[in-house]
Chain A
Amino acid sequence: MAPMKGLTVFVADVRKCKSWRASVDRARLMAQKPSLNGYNRKKYVCKLIYMSLLGYDVHFGHKEAVELANSTKYSEKQIGYLAVSLLLMEGSGFMRAVVAALRRDLHDADECSACLALSAVTNVATREIAETLTEDIVMLLLSSSASMFVKKKAALCLLRLLRRFPEVVNARQWAARVVPYIGHRDLGVTLSVVSLVTALVQQHPDETRKAAGLAVRRLKSLLVDGEHSIDYVYYRVPAPWLQVKLLRLLQYFPAPDSAEMRGMLTGILRRIIDQSQDATRELQQMNAQYAVLFEALSLGIHLDADQALLRESAALLGRFITSRETNVRYLGLEAMAHLAAYIDDVSALKQYQGVIIQSLRDRDTSVRRRALDLLYSMCDVDSSRTIVGELLRHMALADTALREEMALKVAILTEKFATEYAWYVDVMMRLVSLAGDHMGDEVWHRIVQVVLGNEELQLYACKIALQTLRAPVCHESAFKVSAYVLGEFSHLIANAADSAPIDQLKALQTKMASASPAARAVALTTIAKFINLFPEIKTLCLRVLDRFRGALDVELQQRACEYYALATVESEDLLPTVFEEMPPFPERQSALMSRLLGKDADTEDQRTWVLGTRDAKAERSTQPPPPPLPEKQQSQPGGGDGAAEPPAPAPAPAPEEPEQVTRGRRHYARLLWESDGILHDGDEMQVGVVAQYKPPAGRIGVFLGNKAAAAICDIAIEARSSEDALEIRLAADQTPPAALVPLAQARVFFDVVCRDVFGAAPTLRVTYSLAGEPAELELQLPVTAMHFMDPVTIAVGDFFARWKQLGDAGIGEAQEVFRTPFLATDGGAGPWLRSVVGGMGFALINGADPAPDNIVAVGIASTEAAGRFGCLMRVEPKPSHGLTRVTVRATSGALAAAVAANMGTIFACR
Chain B
Amino acid sequence: MIKAVLIFNQLGKPRLVQFYEPVSTPVQQAILREIHSLVSKRADTLCNFLEGTRSIGGADARIVYRHYATLYFVFVADQSESELGILDVIQLFVESLDRVFENVCELDLIFHFDEVHYILSEVVSAGMVVETSLVEIGRAVDEARRHAKPDSDYARTGFYSLRRGFVQ
User: Chain A: residues with CB nearer than 8 A to chain B?
Assistant: 1-2, 8, 11, 15, 46, 49-50, 52-58, 74-75, 78-79, 82, 86, 89-90, 109-112, 115, 118-119, 122-123, 125, 147-149, 152-153, 156-157, 159-160, 163, 187-188, 191-192, 195, 198, 229, 231-232, 234, 239-242, 244, 248, 284, 287-288, 290-291, 294-295, 326-327, 329-331, 334, 363-367, 369, 401, 405, 598, 600, 604-608
User: Judging by beta carbons under 8 Å apart, are A75 and B130 in contact?
Assistant: no
Which residue in B46, B88, B148, B157 is a CB contact (below 8 Å) of A234? B88
Known: A55-B28, A598-B60. 15 other contacts (CB 8 A): A49-B113, A110-B158, A111-B161, A160-B20, A160-B127, A188-B136, A229-B133, A241-B85, A248-B82, A288-B84, A291-B87, A327-B47, A330-B49, A331-B84, A598-B58
- Residues from chain B with Cβ under 8 Å of A49 in the complex: 113-114
Q: Which residues of B contact A401 (CB under 8 A)?
A: 53
A149 lies within 8 A of B140 (CB) = yes
Mark B26-68 against chain A: 1 for CB-CB distance below 8 A, else 0: 1011001000000000110111111101000011100000000
Q: B51 to chain A: which residues have CB within 8 Å?
A: 366, 369
A188-B133 contact in complex given A2-B149, A57-B25, A329-B47, C-beta closer than 8 Å: yes
B29 partner residues in chain A, CB cutoff 8 A: 55
Q: How far is the CB of B127 from chain A (nearest CB, A)?
A: 7
- In the bound complex, what is the Cα–Cα distance between A54 and B117 (angstroms)? 15
Q: Is the CB of B126 within 8 A of A157?
A: yes
Residues of chain A contacted by B135 (CB below 8 angstroms): 231
Whether B24 is near chain A, meaning CB under 8 Å from some CB there, is: yes
Q: Which of B80, B82, B144 interacts with A78 by CB under 8 Å?
A: B144
Name the contact of A55 in the complex, choosing from B25, B133, B161 (C-beta under 8 A).
B25
Determine the chain B residues whose CB is within 8 A of the CB of A163 once the complex forms: 1
Per the bound structure, the CA–CA distance linking A879 and B147 in Å amounts to 89
* B128 engages A192 (CB within 8 Å): yes
A53 touches B16 (CB 8 A): yes
Decide: A284 and B91 in contact? CB cutoff 8 A: yes
Shortest CB distance A160–B (Å):
4
The winner among A147, A198, A287 for most chain B CB atoms within 10 A is: A287
Q: Name the distance in Å between B139's Cβ and chain A's nearest Cβ.
A: 9
CA distance A604 to B2 in the complex (A): 11
> How far apart sit A769 and B111, CA to CA, in the bound complex (Å)?
86
**Complex Cα spacing A160 to B3, Å:** 12
Tell whether A53 pairs with B58 under 8 Å between CB atoms, given A231-B135, A329-B47.
no
- Give the distance to chain A from B18, nearest Cβ to Cβ, in Å: 8
Do B113 and A50 touch (CB < 8 A)? yes
What's the Cα separation between A152 and B122 when bound, in Å?
10
Number of B residues with CB within 8 Å of any CB on chain A: 77
8 contacts between A and B (CB under 8 A): A55-B25, A75-B148, A86-B18, A152-B130, A198-B80, A287-B84, A294-B84, A366-B46
Q: Which of A1, A118, A248, A598 contacts B144 (CB 8 A)?
A: A1
Query: How many residue pairs between the two chains, A and B, have CB atoms under 8 Å in the bound complex?
Result: 206
Given A1-B115, A49-B114, A153 and B144 touching (CB < 8 A)? no
Whether A248 pairs with B80 at a CB distance below 8 angstroms is: yes
Within 8 A of A (CB), among B102-131: 110-115, 117-118, 121, 125-131
Kindly state the separation between the CA atoms of A330 and B50 in the bound complex, as whole angstroms.
10
8 Å CB contact of B131 from A191, A288, A598: A191
With A90-B22, A153-B125, A241-B88 already in contact, the answer to whether A15 and B114 are too (CB < 8 A) is: no
Closest B residue to A146 by beta carbon equals: B165
Q: Is the interface of A mostly helix, strand, loop or mixed?
A: helix
By a CB distance below 8 angstroms, the chain A residues around B121 are: 119
Residue of A nearest to B79 (CB): A607
Question: What is the distance, in angstroms, from B19's C-beta to the closest C-beta of chain A?
Answer: 9
A156 near B125 with CB under 8 A, answer: yes
**What residues of A have a CB within 8 angstroms of the CB of B79 in the complex?**
605, 607
Asked if A604 and B154 make an inter-chain contact with CB atoms under 8 angstroms apart, the answer reads: no
**How far is A118 from B125 in the complex, measured between Cα atoms in Å?**
10
Task: Let me know if B111 and A159 touch, CB within 8 A.
Answer: no
Interfacial chain B residues near A195, Cβ < 8 Å: 128-129
Binding site for A on B (CB under 8 A): 1, 13-18, 20, 22, 24-26, 28-29, 32, 42-43, 45-51, 53, 58-60, 78-80, 82-85, 87-89, 91-92, 110-115, 117-118, 121, 125-136, 140, 143-145, 147-150, 152, 154, 157-158, 161, 164-165, 168
Closest residue of chain B to A606 (Cβ to Cβ) is B80
Q: Say how far B140's CB is from chain A's closest CB, in angstroms.
A: 7
**In the complex, are the beta carbons of B132 and A242 less than 8 A apart?**
yes
Minimum CB distance partner of B92 in chain A: A234
List of B residues within 8 angstroms of A330 by Cβ = 47, 49, 83
CB closest residue in chain A, given B152: A74
B132/A244 in contact, CB under 8 A: no
CB distance from A493 to the nearest CB of B (A): 42
When distances are taken between beta carbons in the complex, the residues of chain B under 8 Å from A327 are 47-49, 84, 87
How far, in whole Å, are A240 and B28 apart by their CA atoms in the complex? 31
In the complex formed, the residue of B with least CB distance to A112 is: B147
Residues of chain A within 8 A (CB-CB) of B53 are 401
A112 vs B42: C-alpha distance when bound (angstroms):
41
- B-side contacts of A329, CB under 8 Å: 47
Closest residue on chain A to residue B151 by CB atoms: A2
Tell whether, in the assembled complex, residue A231 and residue B133 are in contact, meaning their CB atoms are under 8 Å apart: yes
Measured CB to CB, the nearest residue on chain B to A198 is B80
Q: Which residues of B contact A188 (CB under 8 A)?
A: 130-133, 136
Chain A residues positioned under 8 Å from B127 (CB to CB): 160
Contact B150–A75 (Cβ < 8 Å): yes
Distance in angstroms between the alpha carbons of A682 and B115 in the assembled complex: 73
Most buried by A among B18, B126, B154: B126
A303 → chain B closest CB, angstroms: 18
Residues of chain B within 8 A (CB-CB) of A331 are 83-84
From B18, B85, B115, contact of A240 by CB (8 A): B85
With beta carbons under 8 angstroms apart, the residue of A112, A148, A232 that contacts B157 is A112
Residues from chain B with a CB closer than 8 A to the CB of A58 are 25
Whether B133 lies near A232 (C-beta < 8 A) is: yes
The 9 closest A-B pairs by CB, nearest first: A291-B84, A605-B80, A160-B126, A326-B47, A75-B148, A55-B29, A231-B133, A122-B126, A364-B46
For the complex, what is the distance from the CA of A607 to the CA of B1, rounded to whole Å?
A: 11
Residues of B close to A284: CB separation below 8 A: 88, 91
What's the least CB distance linking A336 to chain B, in Å?
Answer: 15
- Chain A residues within an 8 Å CB radius of B111: 8, 11
Complex Cα gap A57–B121 (Å): 23
The residue in chain A whose Cβ has the minimal distance to the Cβ of B54 is A401
Complex interface: chain A residues within 8 A of B24 (CB): 57, 89
The answer to whether A54 and B125 touch across the interface, beta carbons within 8 angstroms, is no
The one of B45, B78, B118, B148 in contact with A326, judged by C-beta atoms closer than 8 angstroms, is B45
Q: Which residues of A contact B150 (CB under 8 A)?
A: 2, 75
The complex places the Cα of A152 from the Cα of B140 at a distance, in Å, of 13
- A159, B20: Cα distance in complex, Å: 12
Which residue on A lies nearest to B78, using beta carbons?
Answer: A604
Report which of A82, A111, A604, A607 forms a contact with B114, defined as CB distance below 8 A: A82
CB-CB under 8 A from B92, the residues of chain A are 234
What chain B residues lie within 8 Å of A291 (beta carbons)? Answer: 82-85, 87-88
User: Which residue, of B79, B130, B143, B168, has the highest number of chain A Cβ atoms within 10 A?
Assistant: B130
Most buried by A among B43, B83, B92: B83
Complex CA–CA separation, A369 to B49 (angstroms): 11
**Using Cβ atoms and an 8 Å threshold, which residues of chain B touch A242?**
132
Other-chain residue from A53, A369, A605 in contact with B113 (beta carbon distance below 8 A): A53
B47's nearest neighbour on chain A, judged by CB, is A326
Minimal Cβ-Cβ distance residue in A for B64: A327
Q: Which residues of A contact B18 (CB under 8 A)?
A: 86
Assembly CA distance A331 to B115 (angstroms): 34
CB proximity of B129 to chain A, nearest CB, Å: 6
